[in-house]
Amino acid sequence: MSGLRADVIQDQAAFDDLEPHWWPLWSRSTSATPFQSPAWLLPWWRTFSPGVLSAIAVWSRDDLVGLAPLYREPRASGWLLLPVGISLSDYLDILCAPGREAEVSYVIAEAALSLEWSKWVLPDLPAEAASLCFDLTNVAESRFPNYAACPVLSLARDETLARSIPSRRRRQLRRAERAAQRRGRVAIERYEADPRTFIDQLARLHNARWAGQGVLTHIAQDFHRMALPRLAANGMARCWLIEIGDTVVGAYYGFHHRCRAYAYLGGFDPAYAAESPGAILIGTAITEAVREGAREFDFLRGRESYKYGWGAVDQWTTQRVWSRSAPP
């Protein structure tokens, strides 16, 4: 693959230095989601750093044309090669410049083979993922095509939502809005100017909803406080708070990129469960997504029943696992 070179990035400073090159590649990549952006992955690595950074950057002269953000964790059975962003990211993938997927994937695969690892795991690959196309020569692979369900709602260009959401859900939403209005003044506001305050409110409401068993641990909150301003500055964040009376009773944290909206996380005060503030916020987020031209509303990982009540249909991710018995 003449003209391309691969660098293995192994320290934080060099990873950070990729950012001005990373954004143009991410913007051009046809399979990219917010979870592959530097706004998401640089804060993830800075917050967690769970192993040895082993990101593979592919260059064509001074242009970044491919990126595999990877790291290695030591295990009793040998090194495990994993994607940066794992666990908190609903979609994972490499980035490739359009039209160069085959050659970039080849270079990434060759660079990955030069690293010491016994197992390489790539979970949560969406249907259009660039990582589905490359192969490792003479390395055993297991592929799991129905790895995780991400229910997705198709959106019509209709702000009444009549062509997107089942009539039963629309009736439930109207009842919830009337119930909320009976309890007090209802205010729904987009809230991205002060990310620290928003994440504080989200954490309070999420942990209240899940009785302290939610996913917003203290370290996860630190990550989101770092990532959210970057996401907002690049036009991807969609954060909403709902007040009933003078009390913030619900929070919605999502993203918008190209023609897709992503519902990432939410929470509500259980004392207001009868007013369904979470559903009201999702209805608001869907309406705004339609106004912004989204054609899909992605509820992301998990088969919670409420997602199907909105009319979402499962789309499945794939996991690829390569195993080898000895280091190169």
Looking at the structure, tell me whether residues 130 and 207 fall in a common domain.
no
Looking at the structure, tell me whether residues 119 and 192 fall in a common domain.
no
Strand ranges (E), 221-299: 237-244, 247-257, 260-268, 296-298
Closest CA to 286 of 141, 278, 26: 278
38-67 per-position pLDDT tens digit: 999 999 999 999 999 999 999 999 999 999
Phi, psi for residue 222 in degrees, rounded to 5: -60, -40
CATH number at residue 75: 3.40.630
Looking at the structure, tell me whether residues 193 and 233 fall in a common domain.
yes
3-state SS assignment for residue 157: coil
Looking at the structure, tell me whether residues 112 and 170 fall in a common domain.
no
Residue 45 to residue 42: CA distance in whole angstroms:
5
The reply to whether 49 falls in a domain is yes
Looking at the structure, tell me whether residues 126 and 206 fall in a common domain.
no
Looking at the structure, tell me whether residues 196 and 254 fall in a common domain.
yes
151-189 per-position pLDDT tens digit: 999 999 998 999 999 999 999 999 999 999 999 999 999
Query: Pairing mode, if any, of strands 119-125 and 140-154?
Result: unpaired
> Does 1 score more than 70 pLDDT?
no
The reply to whether 15 falls in a domain is yes
The reply to whether 303 falls in a domain is no
74-112 per-position pLDDT tens digit: 999 999 999 999 999 999 999 999 999 999 999 999 999
Looking at the structure, tell me whether residues 267 and 144 fall in a common domain.
no
The DSSP result for 66-120, as a single string, is: EEE-EEEEEETTEEEEEETTTTT-S----EE-TT-HHHHHHHHHHHHHTS--SEE
Query: Pairing mode, if any, of strands 95-96 and 63-68?
Result: antiparallel
The reply to whether 74 falls in a domain is yes
The reply to whether 216 falls in a domain is yes
Half-sphere exposure of 228 (CA within 13 A, CB side): 25
Handedness of CA 164, 88, 223, 66 (dihedral sign): negative
The reply to whether 310 falls in a domain is no
Closest CA to 186 of 240, 241, 245, 239: 245
Report yes or no: 71 and 65 within 8 Å, Cβ to Cβ. Answer: no
Q: Which domain holds residue 33?
A: 4-148+317-323
281-325 per-position pLDDT tens digit: 999 999 999 999 999 999 999 999 999 999 999 999 999 999 997
The reply to whether 205 falls in a domain is yes
Looking at the structure, tell me whether residues 271 and 186 fall in a common domain.
yes
What are the structure tokens assigned to 92, written together? 């994972």
Closest CA to 39 of 55, 16, 56: 16
Looking at the structure, tell me whether residues 172 and 195 fall in a common domain.
yes
Looking at the structure, tell me whether residues 119 and 182 fall in a common domain.
no
Report yes or no: 145 and 127 within 8 Å, Cβ to Cβ. Answer: no
Query: Pairing mode, if any, of strands 237-244 and 78-83?
Result: unpaired
CATH number at residue 174: 3.40.630.30
Amino acid at 25: L
Looking at the structure, tell me whether residues 135 and 182 fall in a common domain.
no
> Does 328 score more than 50 pLDDT?
no
Residue 319 is predicted with a pLDDT of 98
Looking at the structure, tell me whether residues 8 and 134 fall in a common domain.
yes
Phi, psi for residue 85 in degrees, rounded to 5: 100, -5
* Banded pLDDT at 212 (limits 50, 70, 90): confident
Q: What is the pTM of this model?
A: 0.95
Q: How many domains does the chain have?
A: 2
Closest CA to 317 of 74, 198, 150: 150
The reply to whether 307 falls in a domain is no
